[in-house]
Amino acid sequence: MFENLTEKFQRVFKNLRGQGKLTEEHLDAALGGIREALLDGDVNVDVADELLARIRAKALGSEVLLQLSPDQQVLKIVRDELLELLGKHAKPVFAARPPSVWLIVGLQGSGKTTTTGKLGKWLTQGHRPLVVSTDVYRPAAREQLAQVAKAVGVSCWPGAGTDKPLEIAKGAIREAKLSASDVILVDTAGRLHIDDELMAELGNLKRELQPSEILFIADAMVGQDAVHSAGDFHRRLGLTGVILTKLDGDARGGAALSIGRVTGAPVKFVGVGEKYDALEAFYPERIVSRVLGMGDMLTLIERAEQAIDQKKAAELERKLRHSEFTLADFGDQLKQVRKMGPLEQVLGMLPKVGPFANLPRDAQVDESRLKHVEAIINSMTAAEREDHDLIDGKRRKRIARGSGTSVQEVNQVLKQYMQMRKMMKQYGALAAQGRLRGLNKVRGALQQMRQGEEATEE
């Protein structure tokens, strides 16, 4: 397996650490590693080289040389430069006078139609969206959007009776006015940036519809060519934003940096799954943190906060301290974790340092096995859940039958519970000794960054 960007940066910076002063030689060694990391992560080679040249100049010429340790210095410069490319967090734009038109554009297969559905769903909170497909080329494309719209409960203008994209879109605008819809999402056919005729068609749609957003939908798996496709779309249309899709896979998404460089348009959302609510706001800070080895702690903590019932969390903390962690708590924990989203995704967001360094990330987390565990715990009596010592051989058999599993599986769950209990005890002891300052630090940093984000949103 390839090392990912995060791991590579960590290795590079580990080498830099412990050196009193940053020499040109050290710097070049570090930059070489960073270059490879960026390229493995699909950042365009020209973009990467330009970036490295700037980082080098800044690192050598900077006065902070004396104040920060060498790795901190480089890390800060790298981070700032990457952030610079990604631009500021930006919110979607609505027209001064409704209805607003958002034009959804991109290459074939990038995820335009699914994203249109997600945006439609997202807009239903506070808006009345109308979606329309102008893809008159791909078989069943308009039918696809109609079905997606139905699934997310958003109106769809079928545009029956014509196969001219502009006419279809204009019909949607008339319909929006009649039905008091305030945002029209215009899905377009996927096309190559070098297809002159089809690019001209988009130019025409732009001229006639005066969209407040022209959103470029980009697949996170795209490689070096991103600079060409995004660059051409931008030159012809003037993109206002980018949506990066399929980020739930293991692509490193360096294309975001390439696209940022050639378009200057901010990433406004990211797609993280096939379900229609798998659309998230994009925070450059977070992606950069992830790239630099801090993991996507912010997103993770935010999600954990949403999913975990605060009262239960406090109660759990008390129990931890007094080693009263029961099977019932174990079951609760599982449920909470599952609410945070697919486990693989959650694991992927953890930084690869400290306590998380050795998590088996490649190992596929089998969600169905979690369900078995839950079923087993549900098949226990309340008394058994409070006191695992009660569960003898006979009870194990009963639990296995009740949960549709085997005695071996029940044994395994009990073993896992015991292990977790042991871990929790250690954790509890640590907490009691006040050794969890690290965690509080993370919390503090999170709060600071939040405030920073809010400030930029103004």
Ligand X SMILES: Nc1nc2c(ncn2[C@@H]2O[C@H](COP(=O)(O)OP(=O)(O)OP(=O)(O)O)[C@@H](O)[C@H]2O)c(=O)[nH]1
Binding site for other proteins (CB under 8 A): 2, 36, 39-42, 44-46, 49, 107-111, 113, 137-141, 143-148, 151, 192-194, 219, 221-226, 228-229, 246, 248-252, 254-255, 274, 344, 364-368
The smaller minimum CB distance to ligand X, of residues 193 and 385, is found at 193
357's CB contacts (< 8 A; 6+ apart) are none
Contact partner at residue 295 from other proteins, ligand X, none, CB < 5 to 8 Å by partner kind? none
| Residue 90 in tokens | 């930006």
**Is omega for the bond preceding 99 within 30 degrees of 0, making it cis?**
yes
Binding site for ligand X (CB under 6 A): 108-109, 138, 190, 192
CB of 147 to ligand X, least distance (A): 13
Q: How many other C-beta atoms lie within 10 A of the C-beta of residue 134?
A: 26
The whole-angstrom distance between residue 57's C-alpha and the CA centroid of its chain comes to: 32
Contact partner at residue 402 from other proteins, ligand X, none, CB < 5 to 8 Å by partner kind? none
Q: How many other C-beta atoms lie within 10 A of the C-beta of residue 420?
A: 15
Contact partner at residue 445 from other proteins, ligand X, none, CB < 5 to 8 Å by partner kind? none
The smaller minimum CB distance to other proteins, of residues 24 and 195, is found at 195
The smaller minimum CB distance to other proteins, of residues 82 and 107, is found at 107
Q: Which residue has the tokens 């954990």?
A: 304
Contact partner at residue 224 from ligand X, other proteins, none, CB < 5 to 8 Å by partner kind? other proteins
Helix (H) or strand (E) holding 280: strand 279-281
Is 71:79 a contact under the CB 8 Å cutoff?
Answer: no
Residue type, 302: E
The smaller minimum CB distance to ligand X, of residues 165 and 190, is found at 190
The smaller minimum CB distance to ligand X, of residues 208 and 274, is found at 274
Alpha-carbon span 209 to 212, nearest angstrom: 9
Contact partner at residue 139 from other proteins, ligand X, none, CB < 5 to 8 Å by partner kind? other proteins
Is 213:183 a contact under the CB 8 Å cutoff?
Answer: no
244's CB contacts (< 8 A; 6+ apart) are 218, 220, 253, 255, 256, 267, 269, 270, 271, 282
CB of 11 to other proteins, least distance (A): 15
Alpha-carbon span 124 to 72, nearest angstrom: 44
Residue type, 44: N
Contact partner at residue 151 from ligand X, other proteins, none, CB < 5 to 8 Å by partner kind? other proteins
The smaller minimum CB distance to ligand X, of residues 192 and 353, is found at 192
CB of 190 to other proteins, least distance (A): 8
End-to-end CA distance of the chain: give it in Å, rounded: 42
CB of 385 to other proteins, least distance (A): 28
Residue type, 7: E
| Residue 157 in tokens | 């203008």
CB of 347 to other proteins, least distance (A): 11
CB of 108 to ligand X, least distance (A): 3
Contact partner at residue 252 from other proteins, ligand X, none, CB < 5 to 8 Å by partner kind? other proteins
CB of 172 to ligand X, least distance (A): 21
The smaller minimum CB distance to ligand X, of residues 106 and 284, is found at 106
